[in-house]
Amino acid sequence: MSFLSPYQVILAPMAGVSDPIFRSLCEEQGADLAFTEMVSAKGLSFANDKTRHLLDLLPSERSIGVQIFGHEPDTMASQAAWIEDELGCALAYIDINMGCPARKIVKKGDGSALMCDPDRASAIVSAVKRAVAHPVTCKFRRGWSEEAGESAPAFGLRMQEAGADAVAVHGRYAMQFYKGASDASCIARVACALSIPVIGNGDVASGADAHAMLSETGCAAVMVGRAAQGNPWVFADIKAALESGSAPQAPTVEERISMAKRHVDELLRIRPRSAAYLRKHVMWYVHGMPHAAAVRGALATCSSAAEFHDVLDQLLESLSC
In terms of Cα–Cα distance, which of 116, 166, 121 is closest to 145? 116
pTM recorded for the entire structure? 0.96
Cα–Cα distance measured from residue 2 to residue 123, given in angstroms and rounded to the nearest whole number: 24
Query: Helices 184-193 and 152-162, interaxial angle, to 10°?
Result: 40
In terms of Cα–Cα distance, which of 260, 254, 261 is closest to 284? 260
User: Rg (Cα) of the chain, in Å, rounded?
Assistant: 20
pLDDT value for 244: 87
In terms of Cα–Cα distance, which of 237, 234, 230 is closest to 289? 230
CA distances from 123 to 152, 224, 313 (A): 17, 28, 53
Residues 6+ apart with CB under 8 A from 59: none
Say if CB 207 and CB 233 are below 8 A apart.
no
Say if CB 34 and CB 263 are below 8 A apart.
no
Residues 6+ apart with CB under 8 A from 189: 150, 152, 153
Element (H, E) at 40: strand 39-40
pLDDT value for 247: 83
Residues 6+ apart with CB under 8 A from 218: 188, 191, 192, 198
Cα–Cα distance measured from residue 117 to residue 105, given in angstroms and rounded to the nearest whole number: 15
Whether 219 is catalytic is: no
pLDDT value for 293: 85
Cα–Cα distance measured from residue 316 to residue 319, given in angstroms and rounded to the nearest whole number: 5
- DSSP type of residue 254: H
Cα–Cα distance measured from residue 27 to residue 145, given in angstroms and rounded to the nearest whole number: 34
Helices (H) and strands (E) in the chain, counts: 14, 9
Say if CB 122 and CB 161 are below 8 A apart.
yes
Could you tell me where the DSSP H helices lie in 132-183? 152-162
Q: Phi and psi of 169, rounded to 5°? A: -125, 125
Query: Helices 207-217 and 234-243, interaxial angle, to 10°?
Result: 50
User: For 239, how many CA atoms within 13 A lie in the half-sphere containing its CB?
Assistant: 19
pLDDT value for 76: 98
pLDDT value for 176: 97
As a whole number of Å, the end-to-end CA separation of the chain is 55
pLDDT value for 110: 98
Q: Which of 26, 89, 100, 192 is catalytic?
A: 100
Cα–Cα distance measured from residue 110 to residue 124, given in angstroms and rounded to the nearest whole number: 11
10-residue mean pLDDT series, the chain (321 residues): 94 97 98 97 91 93 97 98 96 98 97 98 98 98 97 98 98 96 97 98 97 97 98 98 89 97 98 96 95 88 97 92 68
